[in-house]
Structure 1
């Protein structure tokens, strides 16, 4: 591949195109020219870690040893930006409206087993599912023994999932949370870990972390009361977005919620949902058959 070097490393148009096509093929994530600087920074780190001389060398490595390099490359290149209670209005809505609604409906139900299922489908380093767990406990901890409550947290990146499952963060990550929330759900480290915090066991017990590529098969068998799909849809092209919305629709209980990120929308799939708030969408209680895609 052409070098076009003017510094130690420069990313040629051919190499950038290769990376974009590789990422899109493997993950469905759409990278364009606006992401070139981000790709350059992360690609530079990759070739330093692999002790290679050029971007071209690594492109060749991906082509010749895909089984060895694919997972490492996808982990390094995909975006993972998150925080506790990011877009707080979503969690406020859960606590004020959705969780009381679920509790009320199931109290009236004749079914013996009362359950809540929530899916964080692009959970990154775990702040989102832990925020969901805090919201659930704040809303229903006194009733928790009567309920089967589970949060599924998935991501394509095995590295961030490992961090999420560990549940250890820098103290600064929770500085903006109310002191009572910090004290109730986070344990401050001591000694050499004095600048770290760990999420409490009662939060971790609610969550199952699993690696999942959204473009591959979804092994879940049950339906969800709420699905979080925030700030990931924007990385897919429009046809892929519509395919994913169709799949999410099938995995949401009638009357359940799909929650997107602040800059995302359902596009043509909006007609199958009603608005529940800012980027909060409700599946009808009685659902018509909808076409995939």
Structure 2
């Protein structure tokens, strides 16, 4: 008899565990993806029911209603028909958007829909301060608690934790009190160190990446900028040098042409002088053969 009771008890426990494992109370979906949220399976088929959504702010609204006659009425504007209901009154959402984030309830069963975003990127120099924001999705995932974690090189460690009662505990060695948790669950780090660089998670969700510039990296960046600024001037210098070279070549060509022109000029002058000399010789010869008047005949 005891064996039978033990077996029944074990089966009940396994059934509860199986139901808990199969029950998607939290659904994490990337922006633009699809999501399916399940109504309470114990809800009688065809019975009156509603899907509601409660935002992080606490505002609650009805999404869709199944009336007693079985008709399904959407209570929100859905021009693109993103929200669809199946026979079990489960809700399927296409192209999930950030505004879809919230806690959904149907038949007494709640499911938190968390919409994942690309993490924010921060770059600061050593000694500066930075604020990393948790975000609505991470706040919803915490269900009233907040846990900040740093992951660097695959190794992660908790920094701050706030329980649902509001008590905050620092979980790292922080003698200078550099880490502070703000009212909006964001993490404030003052006097940032190089060891603070890495990936940051809020309630298990990757929300930020932090890059820290050291004095060495800043100097390297400055040198890179200086080199970039010098490069155009170098190109200008090269262009100027090229122009100067062309001018030099032109000058060289002009210098080489000058003796040639002088030689041609001298040769032409010699030819002209020789021609004039020959003309003068022939003229003198002709004058010698001209007969002279005889003065005695007169």
TM-score (norm 2): 0.23
Determine which structure has greater relative contact order: mean sequence separation of CA pairs < 8 Å that are 6+ residues apart, divided by chain length: 1
Higher-Rg structure is 2
Greater helix percent: which structure? 1
